Chain A
């Protein structure tokens, strides 16, 4: 009885030990030298894999930091200053501040302001809807409302309300993935502080805008004239705000208050 058990157990044990020994030797002999800073750097990064730094995920950025010393340490937008400081300490370089950015949607044409021109029953994707006569809404510049940006957001910061994307400022990490998927390029990254946002992207003349959407920018230049710093300019029938000139506004929000359609809002 015992012998029968032993004849089964011993070969298995021997094979097991041989395999184990082989693996140990192989891992020692063929060890690949990895930069010892790599796991530490990887630990500092938030792990959102958002790609805002321009590399393939956090691992890619960590590797680039190790291998190319001239890679800036402040590229991680979600990690902001804390991560930039930790990284520069690890790498022994000067730390540079990261400006925290958040995404804003340049459209406010929800279902109370616009009408549908067609009844779209295709794929639930903005990219697909855009190919069909520029989308279902009356405004071809505006939000298509099918949520491509929502699907790509790693933080669930975007929700669709009445057919327009809304961004939750608390959750947004400023990675900019949504800015790239929107077929109308409606989403922009702006400095994260109390600001006025141009909630329209329609470049048509005022009358055409008015027909398509009741909250669109008609290019009346009231904001341009009201701005004490000259930060607002109307180009191509749409207001554009230069946020660098906006910083110390003596009459904050005057442009938004002067807007007759509500396209500029706080």
Chain B
């Protein structure tokens, strides 16, 4: 149990996918302008990360590993995740139109998001069990949400500030992202010591 909590917390804070591993930067910069869209995107990411892990972990363990096909991991995972997201979209549209509406364009957008692929592959690389892999995916998704929500706050503050002409737009956004990720470095080593 302690191990699961450690995995969850370190996925959220220390190994934050956006701010420490630099995966999923595209939506991080693209949809963090408003809190609403940032939350919508993050919910879609959490959802897809969990679904993708639930689908890819058994495939790796029971299909690829026994037949020595580990080198097909990336391509098979992409294939499965892409198909899965499409399937989920069809199902949501039919049975949960309101959720489909609120996730909106973000669901198909993250079909090939590197953070989603990264979570599934790193789950295998770390040698997690199924439960651990799911917890890690949940933590990674929550970490993504945390980063998105924090950064949308940073960006809305920047909207009203006086920025030098040459820094307007993407440059100042990247600088702000760097400083935000720097603040997360402070979490290094905290979680392990919490439980020792």
Binding site for B on A (CB under 8 A): 7-8, 11-12, 15-16, 19-20, 22-23, 26-27, 30-32, 123
Contacts and interface: CB of A to CB of B under 8 A. Distances in A.
B174 interface: no
A17 to B, nearest CB: 11
A23 B79 contact: no
Closest 4 A-B residue pairs measured CB to CB?
Answer: A19-B83, A30-B94, A26-B90, A30-B90
Given A11-B72, A16-B79, A30-B91, 10 more contacts: A8-B72, A11-B67, A12-B76, A19-B80, A23-B90, A26-B90, A30-B90, A30-B94, A32-B93, A32-B97
Given A7-B69, A123-B160, A12 B79 contact: yes
B112 interface: no
B90 A11 contact: no
B83 A12 contact: no
Given A8-B69, A20-B83, A23-B83, A32 B94 contact: yes
Nearest to A18: B83
A27 B76 contact: no
Main secondary structure of the interface of A (DSSP, over half): helix
12 contacts: A11-B67, A11-B72, A12-B72, A12-B76, A15-B80, A16-B79, A19-B80, A19-B83, A22-B87, A26-B87, A30-B91, A30-B93
Main secondary structure of the interface of B (DSSP, over half): helix
B54 to A, nearest CB: 15
Interface of B: 63, 67, 69, 71-72, 75-76, 79-80, 82-83, 86-87, 90-91, 93-95, 97, 160
Given A11-B63, A30-B94, A32-B94, A23 B87 contact: yes
Contacts of B91: 26, 30
A15 B76 contact: yes
A31 B95 CA distance: 11
Nearest to A30: B94
Nearest to A128: B160
A144 B79 CA distance: 56
Contacts of B87: 22-23, 26
A140 B174 CA distance: 40
A23 B72 CA distance: 22
